Structure 1
Amino acid sequence: MADVNTIRSAAGTRSAAIDAGLRAHMNKVYGTMSIGMLITFAAAWALSGLAVTTDPAAGVAQLSESKYLTQLGYYLYASPLKWVVMFAPLAFVFGFSAMINRMSAATAQVVFYAFAAVMGVSISSIFLVFTGYSIAQVFLITAIAFAGLSLYGYTTKKDISGWGSFLIMGVIGLIVASIVNIFLASSALMFAISAIGVLIFAGLTAYDTQKIKTEYLAHAHTGDSEWLGKAAIMGALNLYLDFINMFMMLLQLFGNRE
C-alpha cells in the first residue's frame, strides 16, 4: 500500500511540475509575442511620423490637402522601394523559419524582435491611411477576439489539429489573391480577402495555441531547455502573425480612413 501511495505521490508531483512548466512556457510565448507587438507598433508609429510633414516646403509629394510625404516617405510608399518594404516580412519569416534550427534560443529571440521591427516598417502606412482612433479601436477588438480564441485553443478537449492543413491552404490562397489584387485593385476582391482572412486567422489562433500546448507536453519530459526555448519563440511568432493578420484584415473591413 505504501508503494502504491509512493507511486501516486510521484505521479502527482510529476503532473504538477508539468503543469507549472506549461504555464511558464505559455507565459514566455505570450510575453515574447507582446514585446514583438510593442516593437511593431512603435516602429510603425515612429516611421509614419517621419514620413509625413505638414510643411509644403519640406515635402516632396502631396499626400492630402494638408499633408506631404517627406523624402523618406516617398522612398517607402511611392518609389519602387515600396515593393521591398511590402514583401520584406514575408521573405523574413520564411528565412527565419528555415534557419531557426541552426540558431541558439537567444539568437532566435533577437531575430524575432528584428522581424517585428521590419513588420512595423511594412505596416507603417496604416497611420497615413486610417485615423488613429480607428486603429486603436480595431486593435482593441482584435485583442479581445484573439484572447478568446487563444483561450479556446488552450482549454478545449477537442483535437483541432485537423484544421491545420485546411487553414494553411487558406493562407496560401489569401497570399495569391492579395498579390493578384495588387494589380487588379478590386475593392470587392479586397473585401472578400479581408472577410475570409479574418475567419482563417481566427481559426489559426485557436489551432496554433493548441499546437504550442501539445508540443510542450510531448517534449516536456526531455528537459531540453534549448529546444523548449526555441519552441516558445516559434510559438510566439505564429501567434504574432495570427494577431497581426487578423488586425490588418479587420482594419480593412472596419477602419475609418483619413
Structure 2
Amino acid sequence: MMNETVVSSSHKPYAKLFAALFSGLIVATIGLYAGQFVPRALFFPLAIVEIIMLFMMIFARKRKSMGYLMMYAFMLISGLTLYPAISYYVSALGADVVLRAAGITAIAFGGTALYAVISKRDFRFLGSFLFISVLALLAMGILQIFFPVSGTAQLIYSAFGIFIFIGYTLYDFSRLTINGFTDRDIPMIVVSIYLDIVNLFLYILRFIGVLNDD
C-alpha cells in the first residue's frame, strides 16, 4: 500500500503532460487548416491511416521518442480528417455557432477534468461501461446511415455521446490522479485526452445541429 501511494503521488508530471497536449492541439489545428487543400477522395484513406496509427501508438507507448513522433503525426492526420466535419458545421450552423460550441466544449471538459483531479474520486469503475457505450454509439451511428431516424432520436443519440465522453474525461483523469503516470506514458495519454475533447466537441455540434433543424 505504501509503494502504491508513493507511485501515485510522485509520478504525475502534469506540466509536461499539458505542454505536450497544448503542442499537440496546435499540430492538430495546423492539420485542420491544411485539410481544406486535401482532395476529397483522400479523406477516407487518411481516416484508415489514423485508426492504424492509434493501434500502433498503443504498442509503441513505452518508447518515448517513437511515442512523441507518432503522437504528433497522429494529431496532424486527425486534424486533416476533422476538416470535412468542421467545414460542414461551419456552413450549416455558421462559424459563430461552431466557436460557441468550442467554448462549451472547453468549459465542459475543463470543469470535468478539474473535478476529477481535485475531488480525487475514483471513476475507474466506469471503464467497462464506457467501452460498451462507445461500441453502442458506433453501432447506432452505422444504423442511422441505412435507416432514417427522427429528430428526437438524433437528439437523444447526440446527448448520449456527450454523456459518454464527459464520462471518459472523468475516467481518464481519475486514472491519472490515482494511478499516476510517467514521462513515457504522456504521448498515449495526450492522444486519449485529445480524443475525449474532439468527440465531445463533435457530439455537442451534432446536438446543436439537431436543435437547429427542429
What TM-score do you get using the length of structure 1 for normalisation?
A: 0.69
Q: Residue 185 of structure 1: CA displacement?
A: 5.4
Partner in structure 2 of residue 156 of structure 1: 119
**Unaligned runs of at least 5 residues, structure 1:** 1-13, 52-71, 220-227
Query: Within the alignment, does 1:84 sit opposite 2:45 as a pair?
Result: yes
Contact 2:120 2:174 in 1 (8 A): no
Partner in structure 1 of residue 183 of structure 2: 229
Amino acid at match of 2:156: A
The count of aligned residue pairs is 203
**Unaligned runs of at least 5 residues, structure 2:** none
Amino acid at match of 2:160: I
What TM-score do you get using the length of structure 2 for normalisation?
A: 0.82
Query: Within the alignment, does 1:210 sit opposite 2:171 as a pair?
Result: no
Query: Within the alignment, does 1:40 sit opposite 2:1 as a pair?
Result: no
Partner in structure 2 of residue 133 of structure 1: 96
Query: Within the alignment, does 1:31 sit opposite 2:19 as a pair?
Result: yes
Query: Within the alignment, does 1:165 sit opposite 2:107 as a pair?
Result: no
**Structure 1 residues 144 and 98 mapped into 2: Cα distance closer, same or farther (>3 Å)?**
same
Q: Residue 145 of structure 1: CA displacement?
A: 0.8
User: Partner of 1:124: helix, strand, or coil?
Assistant: helix
Q: Residue 211 of structure 1: CA displacement?
A: 0.3
Query: Within the alignment, does 1:116 sit opposite 2:80 as a pair?
Result: no
**Structure 1 residues 97 and 18 mapped into 2: Cα distance closer, same or farther (>3 Å)?**
closer
**Structure 1 residues 158 and 29 mapped into 2: Cα distance closer, same or farther (>3 Å)?**
same
Amino acid at match of 2:22: S
Taking the TM superposition and a 5 Å limit, the aligned residue runs for 1:89-100 are 89-100=50-61
Q: Deviations over 1:116-168 (max 9, x none)?
A: 11111111013421232222211111011111100111122432211111111
Contact 2:53 2:70 in 1 (8 A): no
With 113-122 and 185-194 compared, the bigger mean Cα shift is at 185-194
Return the structure number with greater helix share: 2
**Structure 1 residues 142 and 106 mapped into 2: Cα distance closer, same or farther (>3 Å)?**
same
| Larger relative contact order (Cα-Cα within 8 Å, sequence gap ≥ 6) | 2
Query: Within the alignment, does 1:105 sit opposite 2:64 as a pair?
Result: yes
Identity of counterpart residues, as a percentage? 24
Query: Within the alignment, does 1:181 sit opposite 2:169 as a pair?
Result: no
Measure, in 1, the Cα distance between the counterparts of 2:143 and 2:46: 18
Which structure is larger by alpha-carbon Rg, 1 or 2? Answer: 1
With 181-190 and 160-169 compared, the bigger mean Cα shift is at 181-190
Contact 1:45 1:127 in 2 (8 A): no
